[in-house]
Amino acid sequence: MLNSLMAKLIPFFPEKLVWIFSKRYIAGIDVNDALAASRDLNNQGAMVTLDLLGEFISTMDEAKKNTQDYLDLMDALHGSGINGNLSVKPTMFGLLLDKEACFSHVREIVQRAAGYNSFIRIDMEDASCTSMEIEIFRRLKVEFPGHVGLVLQAYLKRTPEDITGLMDLHTPEAPLNFRLCKGIYVEPATIAFKQYDQINRAYVENLEFMFKNKIHAAVATHDALLVEKAFELIEQYKVPKALVEFQMLFGVTPKLRQTIIDRGFPMRVYVPFGKEWFGYSTRRLKENPAMVQHIIKALFMRG
């Protein structure tokens, strides 16, 4: 109740106040902030994936502008020598306005990344986008086999079927490359697991399938139990380090992150940045008010 109330109220707080707790989770406003945070993370032994904040848009002009911003970001990242890649949310490029134009925009970004021998991860958004985002990934994986990956959400009941449905694209030269997360949106129980244990069970089953089938898996979680389970499966299936990495969000569980780096496994940190940080922070809260407790904790633990 309190979380929901706070999530509704926070958008009306002054930006400066919201920034106090958001800054733990957001690298800054512009590209230079993101690159500085990324350099820092590289020095700590972590790779990065950059996310230029934006999300839902209402015109295709905005989609075009976001595409250009991402192309510029790709150039800047390449020029910086930072060990990192980019994550994209298709709704930023018009997924819900003009699916085909959105595909062309995302394609342009993946093409630029492929030219730099880099990689684009397609984030997974809410369930209204799932099939369309899988379809975009499918088309791009065919054209740019080693340069594009997808996010899958363990809470969605459809995920095992989605994975098997993509297996025809899986080759030893260019394995499928999935980031597996629990899923952040609030979805109905008809399509999504709702309980912690159910979601974790589904997470482990999906991850086991990936390891068994030599799919490149990015284990994206801050849940220490799942991290341990992932290590057990890596041992069981003798997964080479080239086929696995751990991923965490900027500012979340840095101690757990360091223990994984210390064990010698690849770690990548998701680094959101951009002037749209206020909308991003408040939207995330409305989507999932349980996040408020982390934010309130961050407010009192700052400094």
Q: Which of 136, 181, 217, 233 binds ligand FAD (CB under 6 A)?
A: 181
Q: Has 153 been labeled as part of a binding site?
A: yes
38 binds ligand FAD (CB under 6 A): no
Q: Exactly one of 175, 183, 272, 289 binds ligand FAD (CB under 6 A); which one?
A: 183
User: Contact between 294 and ligand FAD (CB under 6 A)?
Assistant: yes
Structure tokens at 246: 């751990």
216 labelled as ligand-binding? no
Radius of gyration of the chain (CA): 18
Residue pair 82/119 in contact by the 8 Å Cβ criterion? no
Q: Does 253 bind ligand FAD (CB under 6 A)?
A: yes
Q: At what angle do helices 60-80 and 99-115 cross, to 10 degrees?
A: 10
Sign (positive or negative) of CA dihedral 202, 204, 209, 213: positive
Footprint on residues 268-287 left by ligand FAD (CB under 6 A):
270
Q: How far is CA 226 from CA 51, 181, 189, in A?
A: 24, 11, 22
> From the centroid of its chain, how far is CA 164?
21
> Considering beta carbons, is residue 28 or 149 the nearer one to ligand FAD?
149
Secondary element (H or E) of residue 246: strand 244-249
Closest distance between ligand FAD and the C-beta of residue 277, in Å? 15
- Identify which of residues 4 and 171 has a Cβ nearer to ligand FAD in the complex: 4
Q: CB nearer to ligand FAD: give 77 or 181.
A: 181
- What φ, ψ does residue 269 adopt, rounded to 5°? -105, 135
**Contact between 252 and ligand FAD per CB under 6 A:** yes
> Is 41 a residue that touches ligand FAD (CB under 6 A)?
no
Closest residue by Cα to residue 131 from 185, 90, 169, 171:
90
Q: What whole-number distance in Å separates Cα of residue 118 and Cα of residue 294?
A: 33
Instruction: Output 171 or 259, the one with its CB closest to ligand FAD.
Output: 259
Task: Please report, for the chain, how many H helices and E strands are present, in that order.
Answer: 12, 8
Contact between 133 and ligand FAD (CB under 6 A)?
no
Residue bearing tokens 């979601």: 199
Nearer to ligand FAD, 153 or 206 (CB): 153
Q: Which residue lies nearer to ligand FAD by CB, 61 or 225?
A: 225
Binding to ligand FAD (CB under 6 A) within 187-246 occurs at 220-223
Q: Is 283 marked within a binding site? A: yes
Cβ-based neighbour number of residue 6 at 10 Å? 17
Choice from 112, 141, 182, 257 touching ligand FAD (CB under 6 A):
182
The Cα–Cα gap between 288 and 184 comes to: 7
Residues of this chain that interact with ligand FAD (CB under 6 A) are 123-124, 151, 153, 179, 181-185, 220-223, 247-249, 252-253, 270, 291, 294
- Residues marked as binding for substrate? 89, 283-284
Q: Which residues contribute to the annotated binding site for FAD?
A: 124, 153, 221-222
